[in-house]
Amino acid sequence: MSYTNSLCGYFSFWEGFGRTLDVGGTFVEFNTSPTAAIADRVAIRSDWAAVGADLWAALLEAQKNLPGATGGTQQATKAIAEKA
């Protein structure tokens, strides 16, 4: 899942081509939010979701690589804590 484009626009080839000819900037409209606070909330939620996904992936990778950490994430967490 991509967390980086939550507030960016997605354009077809022809829309992108048209934007290269848009000297006056009349096509400038991206995903909008009712308020700046809502846009910030969406962006921050997406950022933390990406951090959580990375942490979860790291925990699962540690579970595979550490000896004695084959019985689930609780054992992996315990093995990581013992190594530190």
Render pLDDT for 13-57 as a digit per residue (tens, 0 to 9). 887 777 787 777 676 666 678 888 998 898 899 889 889 999 998
d(CA 39, CA 30) in angstroms, rounded, equals 12
Query: Is the pTM of the predicted complex or chain greater than 0.75?
Result: no
Q: Where is pLDDT greater, at 14 or 69?
A: 14
Burial class of residue 76 in the structure, from the number of CB atoms within 10 Å of its CB (0-12 exposed, 13-18 middle, 19+ buried) = buried
